[in-house]
Structures are given as C-alpha cells and as structure tokens.
Amino acid sequence: MRNKLADVLIAKGIVDVKVLNAIRNVPRHLFMDSSFEGHAYQDKAFPIAADQTISQPYTVAFQTELLAIEPGHKVLEIGTGSGYQTAILLKLKAKVYTIERQLELFKKTNLFFKKMGYRPKKVIFGDGYKGLPEIAPFDSIIVTAGAPEVPKALMSQLKVGGRLVIPVGAEEQIMTMFIRKSEKEFEKKELGAFRFVPLLEDKN
C-alpha cells in the first residue's frame, strides 16, 4: 500500500527519490487513530487529536522535497502534530527539532516517538511562532500549519543558503519558500494553493 501511495505521488509530480523512499518506509497507519487505519495510504488528510489533522501525503512529500534535505541537516519543524512529517524528516537523516503547541498532541506524540524508536533531537511544547533561537541557525524550517503572515523570528533563524517552507494565508494558503541569500536578502517563491489548519500564536 505504501508503494502504491508512492506511485500516486510520482503521478502528482514528486520526483525526489529519497523523499519517495521515506514515504515507502514510514508506516503512516501507526500515526493515525486505529479507526482510520484503512484510510492511511490514501492521499488524503485525516483528523487526529486536538482538532488537528495528519497532512495529506502529497503535502508532506511536496514540502519535504522543497527543503532539499541532506543527511545531518538541522531542521526545525513547527507543528509536530501526529509526528508523521517528523518521521519522514528523520528517515532523510535530518537532525529534527520539533515544536507542538497543543499539549494533548505533544504528550501523545512524544510517547509515540519513544515507543517507536523515532529520535528527534528535541520535541518541544511551545509557541512555534518564536522558533528556537537558542538552537538556530537551521539548514531548513518547515511549518505544517497555515500562517496569516510569515513569522519574522523564523526568517532570522535560517542559515544563509537555508530554506523556510511555509503555507501563508488565512482561508486558503499559498505554499511559500524563502531561500536565505545573505544576512538581509531572501529569495521568495510561491508554489500553489493548499489548505492547512491555522498556525496559532500565543498572545501572552
């Protein structure tokens, strides 16, 4: 079923062999509530705890491909969610720091990682808008929730040459990639419309 899913993603334009192999190797059904297991290898998003969703495999593959990850890259993930995206990044041998602001999900996913032997560098409960300045700079930053605007903190935490992939917009999001060209200069690319749950900011 995972091979079939990879074939669907190839048909939709995913070409990175390493990303496709990660999709083939990560058991997505384990990241979903058991009642949804039969849906795990369809190219669809599904609800998980705390009113969040596990992203559509195409979206996961699309965002991951844009990051151009090499083994050992330091990656910041905003929105751990079910941990599926995290697992894909780990399969690519990235050093993953992941932040989740929903306590229920944070606890559940953190336990799941330990049980399954997935070892992100750090799983953090907190506000993804702020990033992780103490660990920065990062080779890449991936945001897995729709942001009304691009958090400045995340831009500043990218290495020169690093990539930020973020869905930007309120109702519908445009997948946006920023490549840091220098201290002050960023190249911006807009890569089509997607729908995500909203990225929430702690106001206090």
- The per-residue pLDDT for range 148-203, each reduced to its tens digit, is 889 999 999 999 999 999 999 877 889 999 999 999 999 999 998 887 766 665 55
Average pLDDT of the residues in 24-33: 89
> What is residue 32's predicted lDDT score, i.e. its pLDDT?
84
- Predicted model pTM: 0.92
Strand residues in 105-185 grouped as ranges (E): 122-125, 138-143, 158-168, 173-180
Residue 191, classified by CB atoms within 10 Å of its CB into exposed (0-12), middle (13-18) or buried (19+), is middle
Checking if the pLDDT of 98 tops 50, the result is yes
Cβ-Cβ contacts under 8 Å for 172 (sequence gap 6 or more): 193, 194, 195
Instruction: Identify the pLDDT of residue 189.
Output: 96
Q: What is the pLDDT of residues 34-93, one digit of tens each?
A: 766 778 888 888 878 777 778 889 999 999 999 999 999 999 999 999 999 999 999 999
Q: Higher model confidence: residue 70 or residue 32?
A: 70
What is the mean predicted confidence (pLDDT) over 16-20? 96
Told to judge if 55 belongs to the known catalytic residues of this protein, a careful annotator would answer: yes
96, 35 in Cβ contact below 8 A? Answer: no
Q: Which CATH architecture describes the domain 2-194?
A: 3-Layer(aba) Sandwich (3.40)
Per-residue confidence (pLDDT) for residue 107, from 0 to 100: 94
Q: Output the pLDDT for position 197.
A: 67
pLDDT of 43: 86
Q: Can you state the angle between helices 17-25 and 57-67, rounded to 10 degrees?
A: 140
Long-range Cβ contact pairs of 102-108 (< 8 A, separation 24 or more): 102/49, 102/50, 102/52, 104/49, 104/50, 105/48, 105/49, 105/50, 105/52, 105/80, 105/81, 106/80, 108/49
Q: Which two tokens stand for residue 197?
A: 């749950």
Cis, peptide link before residue 137, omega less than 30° from 0:
yes
Checking if the pLDDT of 6 tops 90, the result is yes
Would you state the structure tokens that stand for residue 52, as one six-digit string? Answer: 């969040």
Where helices occur in the chain by DSSP H, the ranges are 2-11, 17-25, 57-67, 84-91, 103-116, 152-156
Q: Is 120 exposed, middle or buried (0-12, 13-18, 19+ CB in 10 A)?
A: buried
Where do the domains of the chain lie?
2-194
Residue 204's pLDDT band, with cuts at 50, 70 and 90, is: very low
State the catalytic residue, choosing from 34, 35, 55, 140: 55
- Could you tell me which residues come within 8 angstroms of residue 202 by beta carbon, excluding any fewer than 6 positions away? 101, 127, 129
Q: Do the Cβ atoms of 170 and 193 come closer than 8 Å?
A: no
